[in-house]
Structure 1
């Protein structure tokens, strides 16, 4: 049996944010889902009004960063909201949980909770093109204990936020700085988990890049040779007639949008390689005129064109518009999210399955 969720509805509904000015992560819908774990499975599943969560100052989430999250989206459908590939997100969430010594959430219970929360706040799902309801499941260790070991108490919560495009309502191709000093994650570490610690590890370099006029950074491996990720995105390069993306290792995230893009490219008979790609190879391809386009993919970014890369003194320019393949991918995803393209792959899961 899935969770038996108790619902306490807000008595003070929030005003809806203005369409076209959502930004990313600025507004939050009326409710949260919560459940507790104290060693006997997940208990007390509930939906409550959005608000602060009490937490002991000695909680393991605060002391030892035992905290993780997932990011997914809901889009409008003709018969109600639709979740984009929630089962794959749930599996990735549980992979992160295992790596961080945290309890997994049964897939049936998790999907039931997501559906219940989005159904409760269905009116918060934006309808303007390119917008969505961002769904942020989060798990934190809550036990007050200063010894170094996994927490024995956990809180699972899910919040939702109506969002526009991560890079603004009219995004232009991104300028990215290739980071050669800091490392986001190393092999054998927690880079493949969606842990909060991975994101704070990249903030110093990202802030330095933004001050220099770049949108984000390209992360290299621990030896500063091979490309891994692009800020909050997986990254793809079109070299000649081949689209190349780094293979999944334990130092980078297995993106759901990345997987979706690979499916589409292979359906379209585009030559794709998942293989190590060095930043030197990218620079050499650019110098030869063979670097045709580059783009990043992610739940928030969808498909975002990269217009410029800077690696030390070397500047690689790719143009002021999406490349041919990035444009086709972006349009395909937008048409899917807008119910203007048949969902032949079953990626869109109804909140109300009936």
Structure 2
């Protein structure tokens, strides 16, 4: 089985900022880039990206999920990294153009076309550790992907880590590679020592997010997740799941959640927990690991509510259900 996100379309679309203006987007081969070894991105991590998907509907149309939200978040990450400002209309044009170009390669459900817009600083200047890159490159890669759960939808084991953070607290809302890299040592250690799938970062006993996804707790008719601030990623999938929960009449609480409260609630019958993200939508959590002890979440199995919310989201994405919030953008 091909690993998720390792197959790419042969071409991508790119635009360069020369310090004054953006170039006309051009479709170019996707297997290489030519950058100076002194490029700002290599030395000072001036890079951000997005992840969104296009879906094939039964009528043959191709539709992108939450295009506007991902473009806005890309613009926000760009500003917070002091990269040249992204022209949001230009980025939308680029995403639509390259997706339409490869519309015939968008897989049937449950597959999709993963879309990866990326923005990097290109100025060759290794003396600019305290200054931004004046030039940059914006490009959009496409990767056809299958069902994230094709290997089975078993539950995840999360290690609750109360020392350290996923990344610098003022950078959590930036979707940048450095944030993911900074979480890797903790994740690798957790896998080796307690066979955890991910680390749930809980600095000072306050539940935040894992290395690559937002965390949600479902208890009866309540959904509890940390409120948005600079310390965690403002997940588009998270936002969508919370809206669907509200549509169902659930009480959505975006607030602080302590490790003590999490473990107390998790022990209740019927309690569920999940990680939200573009790839999986919702991945069920079955076990929390704290201070050397395993705690089951509910029964430890994938919960009905988690599966229902994921199904609701998939049905909108695949055109099998109404799109009441206008989340889909038709490409072709």
- Shorter chain as denominator, the TM-score bin is over 0.9
Aligned counterparts of 1:216 and 1:238: Cα–Cα separation in 2: 19
Counterpart contact for 1:60–1:142, Cα < 8 Å:
yes
1:349 maps to 2:329:
yes
1:217 maps to 2:203:
no
| Aligned residue in 2 for 1:193 | 174
Normalised TM-score (structure 2) = 0.93
1:93 maps to 2:97:
no
Counterpart contact for 2:163–2:202, Cα < 8 Å:
no
Cα offsets for 1:288-330 (capped at 9, x unmatched)? x267110111111211111111012232212353212211101
Among candidates 17, 28, 31, match of residue 11 of structure 2: 31
Structure 1 337/255 Cα, relative in aligned 2: closer, same or farther at 3 Å?
Answer: same
| Aligned residue in 2 for 1:308 | 287
Among candidates 103, 117, 123, match of residue 143 of structure 1: 123
Structure 1 299/157 Cα, relative in aligned 2: closer, same or farther at 3 Å?
Answer: same
Structure 1 240/267 Cα, relative in aligned 2: closer, same or farther at 3 Å?
Answer: closer
Cα offsets for 1:144-196 (capped at 9, x unmatched)? 10122101110111101112344653221111111234321243x21100011
1:296 maps to 2:275:
yes
Q: SS of the counterpart of 1:330?
A: helix
Among candidates 126, 150, 155, match of residue 107 of structure 2: 126
Counterpart contact for 1:285–1:291, Cα < 8 Å:
no
Point out where structure 2 has 5 or more consecutive residues left out of the alignment: none
1:179 maps to 2:157:
no
Counterpart contact for 1:172–1:320, Cα < 8 Å:
no
Normalised TM-score (structure 1) = 0.88
| Aligned residue in 1 for 2:94 | 113
1:325 maps to 2:325:
no
Counterpart contact for 2:228–2:234, Cα < 8 Å:
yes
Q: SS of the counterpart of 2:284?
A: strand
Counterpart contact for 1:229–1:235, Cα < 8 Å:
yes
| Aligned residue in 2 for 1:161 | 143
Q: How does 1:275-294 map to 2 (within 5 A)?
A: 275-287=255-267, 289=268, 292-294=271-273
Counterpart contact for 2:166–2:211, Cα < 8 Å:
no
Counterpart contact for 2:266–2:272, Cα < 8 Å:
no
1:202 maps to 2:183:
yes
| Aligned residue in 2 for 1:4 | none
Point out where structure 1 has 5 or more consecutive residues left out of the alignment: 1-20
Structure 1 186/63 Cα, relative in aligned 2: closer, same or farther at 3 Å?
Answer: closer
| Aligned residue in 2 for 1:10 | none
Report how many aligned residue pairs link the two structures. Answer: 327
Aligned counterparts of 1:301 and 1:209: Cα–Cα separation in 2: 21
Greater CA drift, 192-201 or 204-213: 204-213
Aligned counterparts of 1:174 and 1:252: Cα–Cα separation in 2: 20
Counterpart contact for 1:175–1:306, Cα < 8 Å:
yes
Aligned counterparts of 1:86 and 1:220: Cα–Cα separation in 2: 31
Aligned counterparts of 1:128 and 1:79: Cα–Cα separation in 2: 11
Greater CA drift, 140-149 or 330-339: 330-339
1:84 maps to 2:84:
no
| Aligned residue in 2 for 1:273 | 253
